[in-house]
Chains A and B, each alone.
Chain A
Amino acid sequence: MKAVEARDVVLNFGETPALRGASVAVAPGEIVAIMGPSGSGKSTLLHCLAGILVPDAGEIHFDGHRIDTLSEGQRSALRRDQFGFVFQFGQLVPELTAEENVALPLLLGGVKRAAALREARPWFARLGLDGLEQRRSGELSGGQAQRVALARGLVARPGALFADEPTGALDSLTGEQVMELLVSSARDQGTTVVLVTHDARVAAYADRQVIVRDGRVNALVHS
Chain B
Amino acid sequence: MALLGLLDREPSHGYDLKRDYDTFFSRGKPLPFGQVYATLGRLVRDGKIVVGEVEPGVGPERKRYVITERGATEVDSWLTEPVEAEPNLQTVLFTKVVLALMLGRPAEEYLDRQRAAHLRRMKELTDIRRGGDLVDTLLADHGLFHLEADLHWIDTTVARLDALREAVTRR
Residues of chain A at the chain B interface (Cβ within 8 Å) = 37, 180, 200-201, 203-206, 209, 211, 218, 220-223
17 A-B pairs with CB atoms under 8 Å apart are: A37-B155, A200-B118, A200-B119, A200-B147, A201-B122, A201-B148, A203-B119, A206-B123, A209-B119, A220-B112, A220-B116, A220-B119, A221-B113, A222-B116, A223-B81, A223-B116, A223-B117
Contact A204-B123, Cβ < 8 Å, known A180-B130, A220-B116, A221-B116: yes
| B31 at interface, CB cutoff 8 A | no
Cβ of B19 within 8 Å of any chain A Cβ, yes or no, is no
What is the chain A residue whose CB lies nearest that of B115?
A: A220
* Chain B, residue nearest A198 (CB): B155
State whether A201 and B144 are in contact (beta carbons under 8 Å apart), knowing that A37-B155, A180-B130, A223-B81 are contacts in the complex: yes
**Total number of residue pairs linking A and B with CB closer than 8 Å:** 41
Q: In this assembly, does B138 line the interface, its C-beta being within 8 Å of a C-beta of chain A?
A: no
Q: Which residue of B lies closest to A206 (CB)?
A: B123
Q: Which of A200, A206, A221 contacts B151 (CB 8 A)?
A: A200
8 Å CB interface, B32-86 against A: 81-82
- Contact assessment for B112 and A221 in the assembled complex, using a CB-CB cutoff below 8 Å: yes
User: How large, as a class, is the contact surface on chain B?
Assistant: 20 to 34
Is there contact, CB below 8 Å, between A223 and B82?
Answer: yes
| A206 / chain B contacts, CB cutoff of 8 Å | 123
Q: Does B126 contact A (CB under 8 A)?
A: yes
Q: What residues of chain A lie closer than 8 Å to B122, measured between beta carbons? A: 200-201, 203-204
Instruction: Give Cα A99 to B109, complex, Å.
Output: 48
Cβ of A180: which chain B residues have Cβ within 8 Å of it?
A: 130
B125 contacts partner chain A, Cβ-Cβ < 8 Å: yes
Compute how far the CA of A216 lies from the CA of B118 in the bound complex, rounded to whole angstroms.
Answer: 21
Bound-state Cα–Cα, A200 to B144, Å: 9
Nearest-CB distance from A113 to chain B (Å)? Answer: 37
Contact B120 A222 (CB under 8 A): yes
* Contact call A200/B148, Cβ cutoff below 8 A: yes
Task: Report whether B112 and A204 are in contact in the complex, using a CB–CB cutoff of 8 Å.
Answer: no
In the bound complex, do residue B115 and residue A211 qualify as a contact, i.e. CB atoms below 8 Å apart? yes
In the assembled complex, how far is the CB of residue A134 from the closest CB belonging to chain B, in whole angstroms?
Answer: 32
Query: In the complex, which residues of chain B have a beta carbon less than 8 angstroms from the beta carbon of A209?
Result: 119
With an 8 A cutoff between CB atoms, is B92 at the interface? no
Note all chain B residues with C-beta closer than 8 A to A222. Answer: 116, 120
Closest chain A residue to B124, Cβ basis: A204
Residues of A within 8 A of B81 (CB): 223
Neighbouring A residues of B168 by C-beta, 8 Å: none
Residue of B nearest to A183 (CB): B130
Q: How far is the CA of A58 from the CA of B155 in the complex (A)?
A: 29
Chain A residue with Cβ nearest B80: A223
Contacts known (A200-B151, A204-B119, A223-B81); A218 close to B112, Cβ less than 8 A: yes
Q: Bits for B120-162, please: 1 = Cβ < 8 Å to A, else 0.
A: 1011011000100000000000001001100100010001000
Distance in Å: Cβ of B12 to nearest Cβ of chain A: 31
In angstroms, Cα B148 to Cα A203, docked, is 11
Give the distance in Å from the alpha carbon of A195 to the alpha carbon of B41 in the complex. 53
For residue A211, which residues in chain B have a CB less than 8 angstroms away from its CB?
112, 115
- CB distance B116 to A204 under 8 Å? no
Which residues of B lie under 8 Å from residue A221 when comparing CB positions? Answer: 112-113, 116
Cα–Cα distance between A180 and B81 once the two chains are bound (Å): 32
Given A218-B112, A223-B81: A204 and B125 interface contact (C-beta under 8 Å): yes
Which A residue sits closest to B82, measured CB to CB?
A223
Closest residue to B125 on the A side, CB-wise? A204
Specify which chain A residues have a CB less than 8 angstroms from the CB of B116 in the assembled complex: 220-223
- On chain B, the residues within 8 Å of A37 by CB distance are 155, 159
**Apart from A200-B122, A201-B148, what 5 extra A-B contacts exist at CB < 8 Å?**
A203-B122, A204-B125, A204-B144, A218-B112, A222-B116
